[in-house]
Amino acid sequence: MTDASISSLPEYFRYRVNRDLRVVGAWFAEKWRNSWLFKIAAVLAGLFIVLWVALFVWLASDLPDAESLVDYETPLPTVVRGIDGEIVHSYARERRVQLQYPDFPEMLVGAYLSAEDKTFFSHGGVDFTGTANAVVDYATKYGSGDRAVGGSTITQQLAKILLLGDEYSVTRKLKEMILASRIEGVLSKEEILELYLNEIPLGRRSFGVQAASRAYFDKDVGDLELHEMAFLAILPKAPERYGRKGQEDAAIERRDFVLQQMEENGYITEAQRAEAAAKPLGLVTQRSQRSVDAGYFLEEVRRQLIDQFGETAEDGENSVYAGGLWVRTSLDPELQEAARKALRAGLMRYHGSRGWTGPIATIDVSEGNWAGQLASSYLGIRYEDWRVGVVTQRSGSSATIGFSNGNEAPLTGLPNALKAGDVIAVKPSGNGFAVASVPGVSGGFLAEAVQTGRVLAMQGGFDHRLSDFNRATQAERQPGSTIKPFVYAAGLNYGLTPASEVPDKEFCVWQGARLGNKCFSNFGGSRGGGVYPMRFGLEQSRNLMTVHIASEAGIENVVDTFKAVEIGDHPAFLSSALGAGDTTVERMVNAYAALANHGRLHTPTVIDYVQDRHGKVIWRADKRRCQGCSMPEWDGNPMPRLGPMGREAMDPRTAFQVVHMLEGVVTRGTATRLRDLELPLFGKTGTTTGPTNAWFVGGTPEIVAGVYLGYDQPRNLGGYVQGGNTAAPIFKQFVQETRERWHDEPAVAPPGIRMVRIDRRTGKRVFDGWPTDDPKAAVIWEAFKPDTEPSRSTRQDEIAAKRDEILELIRAGREGRLGMGEGNTNQPSNFVEEQGGIY
């Protein structure tokens, strides 16, 4: 066959390949027969190829799949927003912010390319010239302990960061080169740069240029100046070095080198380089505050998120510290700040001049590393200008205080018990600091939206940096008289009315032959006396009347009422009606919110909804469905509406009656100090035996809040302490701080309520007089269920009148006055009063 006889192109190529192979084969056979040197060279070349293939297979056999980077998602912190949608916090162990490639300024990209990989857009993952230089550098430094630098392209660095780790070895470098070539085959250059600029570690616990921009300059990347961009570009070489104090000269030298490279690569002009090089580093030592001071609230959110989604990436794609969640909470920053201030003021007011309460913690200062120990304790305080420090030495009347940054200062105002190693709070005084006393007493505060159950503010102690125990949700305390409204609710459900007469007298109950009688009496053993309308007992917090009501309704029904509103599972003892069981501020506030919400009980929530990193809602608190809300066009029917939230835990009429009586607690009862707020407030004070706890819970038809004050290990607060003079002022300050948020609309009665004029002192119905604005007015409006309102004269009135009439007849017979014509003796002398009186 000849070249001319071939008719098609494929046949021609087959012909040429066969012919050339025969020629090469013949040449190789001839050389093999005639030359020993050729034989040796051929064998060595074959061995080299076999070894190279084996090495490649060995290195590549366990490499990660570069395809995984196509769907790779950067581990991102969880961002928390408040009720208004503004960012209030983030849960992060590393600083990370993910941007897309167009978000990076062009000049910032140029800075990184000039500093790290100026041939990035032209190589295939490996820069062989740079690799050769790195080999030479490695050879010269071999055995010295110094680490060779250079040779890694941006693609290789990405392979190391995301897939290989930071092992320092030749094999890791070879794997890096293989993997970089594979990455270039699955990702575009822009995608590689995007991953790199989002993932590169840059010091100060920041990963990616956006996080580093905030960490070093407190700016977003779009706001950086040229010299700041150049500084960020030097960090990959030594991320924990150039940002440290004392390294300014080295950082400026390296920064100016990057600026010079940017000029040579055409990214900037000479004038721009010179202007940027003349500027200082401008690093910030402290970032601006980006988090609302709501540690107890935010810790509750974090705990619930971890329970729902897990903590780390190993727990799932939506974990708290890697999933990049966006969380909308019910946190109201304004109300939260007011709650924090009010509770702290109440604690400080009670603490008064009680003196130093002891150290916050203790550390060992003998080793000299007290600053590191203090920093790692994460103890702190944000109250006025106070700080937390450790006593580094104490000698008689002199001492020094040290802080986590290593600074020390003189300390004055020394308690006798103060010693070296004590971690304490201090406040500025002269040229040093004075000992400050954190109150030993504590407490909890929580505010909730009535209609939704959303927790608006939560303060679980003086400062969450000192103790993360949340006394608003975790502290089980006796509620005292704040539980009485639910005893009265049980009474209203089982036949009583707000005008029912209840004895304020000693109550005894037979407990069996072994225990005998159990008698309830007033403080000091007084047996009380008199009979009063039910309202009076709640307004004045009468214990004996409460016990009588609990007995009348049945204590089992009372504790069932507690369960229904989720106060707690209390034993069926009469003492439970006086608040002897345990509950939390959160549960009490939620139960009072149910009263204001016509008996509908919500589950209190701190999270409204959670979105994943792509914006998809993956959890929401409000699980109601709206049928027809997504119709493409109106079908002419009424607008679809969501159903009611929560569940009905109490008769709406009963709930309103209780709220109506609780308004009297503020108007003329145990919480009158709140009256000058001039709001339609309802609420109840509470003081437990000792007293060990002081409570107030109450609010308006829109917001309910509750607070208690007491020691973590319950002990006597002092005989003068009551809910009205200790807890109610905390609530009052909270309202005063946020007065514009509180509306004047009174509670609206539900269907089935009749408002009737009654005499406040007797509970009898009034037909002539009218209620006034005077809090002590005799005539008031009272809420009744149908057919329960008092008549003009009650059956009891008639019985009492008949009894008096009979007694009068007996007395008259004894005195011989019968039949003497004294006029109309058939009418008793107190006829007008016994017939209901004239009003």
Catalytic residue among 116, 184, 300, 539: 116
Distance, CA of 150 to CA of 7 (rounded, Å): 56
Instruction: State the Cα–Cα distance between residues 681 and 739, nearest whole angstrom.
Output: 13
CA 630 to chain centre: 33
Measured on CA atoms in the order 212, 218, 222, 223, is the torsion positive or negative?
Answer: negative
SS3 553: helix
User: Contact at 8 Å (CB) between 201 and 82?
Assistant: no
Q: Do 546 and 536 contact (CB within 8 A), yes or no? A: no
Q: Token pair of 801, please? A: 């009148």
> Comparing C-alpha atoms, which of 729, 737, 746, 764 is closest to residue 682?
746
Residue 291 amino acid letter? S
Q: Can you list the alpha helix ranges (DSSP code H) found in 278-323?
A: 295-309
Alpha helices in 117-220 (DSSP H): 128-141, 154-159, 170-186, 189-199, 209-217
- Structure tokens that stand for 727 in this block: 């807890």
Three-state DSSP state, 398: strand
What does the chain come to in residues? 839
E strand or H helix that includes residue 560: helix 555-564
Q: For residues 501 and 537, what is the distance between their CA atoms, to the nearest angstrom?
A: 10
Backbone φ, ψ for residue 205 (5° rounding): 60, 25
How far, in Å, are 170, 389, 404, 410 from residue 407 at the CA level? 45, 10, 7, 11
Instruction: Please state, in angstroms and rounded to a whole number, the distance separating the CA atoms of residues 212 and 229.
Output: 10
Cis before 691? omega within 30:
yes
Tokens of 567: 């106060």
Q: Which amino acid is at 162?
A: L
**Which residues share a beta bridge with 699?**
682, 704
Cβ 133 vs Cβ 150: under 8 Å: yes
What are the distances in angstroms from CA 217 to CA 228, 284, 479, 528, 629?
8, 5, 50, 71, 47
- Which amino acid does the sequence have at 474? Q
Strand segments (E) across 598-673: 600-601, 607-611, 617-620, 647-648
Contact indicator for 457, 297 with CB cutoff of 8 Å: yes
**Nearest by Cα to 392 from 380, 404, 377:** 404
**Secondary structure E strands in 604-753:** 607-611, 617-620, 647-648, 682-687, 694-699, 703-710
Amino acid of residue 179: L
528: left (phi over 0), alpha (psi -120 to 50) or beta: left
DSSP strands (E only) in 10-82? 78-81
Active-site hit among 152, 319, 404, 481: 481
Rounded distance between C-alpha atoms, residue 157 and residue 179, angstroms: 10
Place of tokens 């008769």: 651
C-alpha torsion sign, points 497, 498, 499, 500: positive
Is 575 designated active site? no
Asked if residue 470 lies in contact with residue 460, where contact means CB atoms within 8 angstroms, the answer is: yes
- Closest of 400, 469, 455 to residue 713, by C-alpha: 469
Degrees, nearest 5: CA angle 136-138-140: 70
Residue 610 pairs with which residues in a beta bridge?
Answer: 327, 619
Q: Would residue 206 show up in a list of annotated catalytic residues for this protein?
A: no
The whole-angstrom separation of Cα 489 and Cα 706 is: 19
What is the C-alpha separation between 77 and 667, in angstroms, rounded? 49
Active site residues per annotation: 116, 481
